[in-house]
Amino acid sequence: MKKGARMKDGLIYDKKYKTWLAEIKSKVRNAQLKAAVKVNTELLMLYWELGADIVSKQKHAKWGEGFLLQLSKDLIAEFPDTKGFSISNLKYIKQWYLFYNKETAFSQQPVGQFAKQPVSQLPIEWNAQQVIPQITQIPWGHNIAIISKCRNVKEAIYYVQNTLIHNWSRSVLIHQIESGLYKREGRSVNNFSLTLPKPHSDLAVQTLKDPYIFDFLSMTKDYNEHEIENALVSHVTQFLLELGAGFAYLGKQIPLNVGEREFFIDLLFYHTKLHCYVVIELKTVDFEPEHAGKLNFYLKAVDTQLRTEQDKPTIGILICKKKDKVVAEYALSDIHKPIGVSEYQLTNSLPKKLKSSLPSIKEIEEELENTEVNPKNLK
């Protein structure tokens, strides 16, 4: 018989193991009593302690390779109605604990202060214990998805915080991770710091992405602005998800009368957090300086005709096929209206789970009928 097998079978007679197993059982019972009030947090706190114990015991105790399997069997036998003690989940618990400990350095920053900080302001050094107040507030399935798909703790905390803020389902969370939201948010070329006051400018920057991923569209090889605009509006639910929290759809091809001429805005939104109108112009060609000039003209018209005293300055977002960053920066440098320039990508790679959860064409059409707005009534 192999040594590992003998060690595994002998664990049930090992006094140290039996003592520790009794402690684990006590912790499980205590967590179960508290779970009626705080199910998720208490369970995940238990998982965190269990993960720490598993790592410690595997490092210092000589219990052989069958350690986790034996622990799984003993906990399931003691708590047959409690899920979460399978061998696969115990491995996830260990992986979860190690993920937030593998690259941490200790700092003296209070846990409460860290828990309220946005990920962009996280300290260079932090203690693994400081992430607990956040990661234990989201479901276990969300946690597994995050540690399985994120490369580092800072990226993981970004998705944890956004899940808490926006109440993402697991399918939406996975879609945001797989579309690289962490790397795309706040990356557009814009003049917000010059045209908007703080902290309004910082919040506006965070609302922009570069590129925008329109992976829910199926377009032919050759298409124009009108076709992509119609496609986005036909998938307005997914489009709003990609734009981010706070965008309220008002309509497409909104007419604006200036002088004796009539102009049409591609897409008009209102941002409920920024408290301003947002004009989105689509270009299926590379960015040109005159695009910024035309969008600037539209912003002036919206500010004059639609904006009220309660509204902040209208923001423009130009979404184009490609852009030269230097050219875009030059084009925006002397414009006094807030404009951001981003690219878009058509990848048609929406996860199957998310596709199955999205509304039908009939539901989208009904939604559009309810959200279409007469521009004359906007003011």
Is a pLDDT exceeding 80 seen at residue 159?
Answer: yes
pLDDT at residue 59, rounded to an integer: 85
Contact 148, 156 (CB under 8 A): no
Amino acid symbol at 276: C
Average pLDDT over residues 305-323: 96
169 burial level (CB within 10 Å; 0-12, 13-18, 19+):
middle
pTM summary value: 0.71
Return the pLDDT at 349. Answer: 42
Average pLDDT, the chain: 83
Cis ω for the linkage preceding 133 (within 30 of 0) = no
**Is the pLDDT at 154 greater than 50, yes or no?**
yes
User: Residue 211: is its pLDDT beyond 90?
Assistant: yes
Given a cut of 80, whether residue 193 has pLDDT beyond it is yes
Rounded to an integer, the average pLDDT of 213-219 is 86
Tokens of 148: 């399985």
Residue-wise pLDDT for 246-264, tens only, equals 999 999 999 999 999 999 9
* pLDDT confidence tier of residue 39, bands split at 50, 70 and 90: low
**Is the pLDDT confidence value at 81 over 80?**
yes
Q: Which of 138, 93, 97 is nearest to 115 (CA)?
A: 138
Task: Let me know: does 93 contact 112? Beta carbons within 8 Å.
Answer: no
pLDDT score recorded for residue 8: 54
What does the pLDDT read at residue 309?
94
> Is the pLDDT higher at 263 or at 4?
263
Given this model, what pLDDT does residue 71 score? 94
Q: Which of 290, 119, 317 is nearest to 212 (CA)?
A: 317
Cβ-Cβ contacts under 8 Å for 332 (sequence gap 6 or more): 189, 190, 191, 292, 339, 341
Higher confidence at residue 67 or residue 371?
A: 67
Predicted local confidence at residue 217, as pLDDT: 87
Complete domains list, the chain, with CATH: 3-99 (no CATH), 111-178 (no CATH), 184-377 (3.40.1350.10)
Please name the residue that has the structure tokens 């996860």.
Answer: 351
The helix (H) or strand (E) run that includes residue 101 is none
Of 122 and 245, the one with more pLDDT = 245
Residues 6+ apart with CB under 8 A from 281: 265, 266, 267, 291, 294, 295, 298, 316, 317, 318, 319
Question: Residue 366 — pLDDT band, cuts 50, 70, 90?
Answer: low
Percent of the chain with pLDDT over 70: 79
DSSP, res 250: E
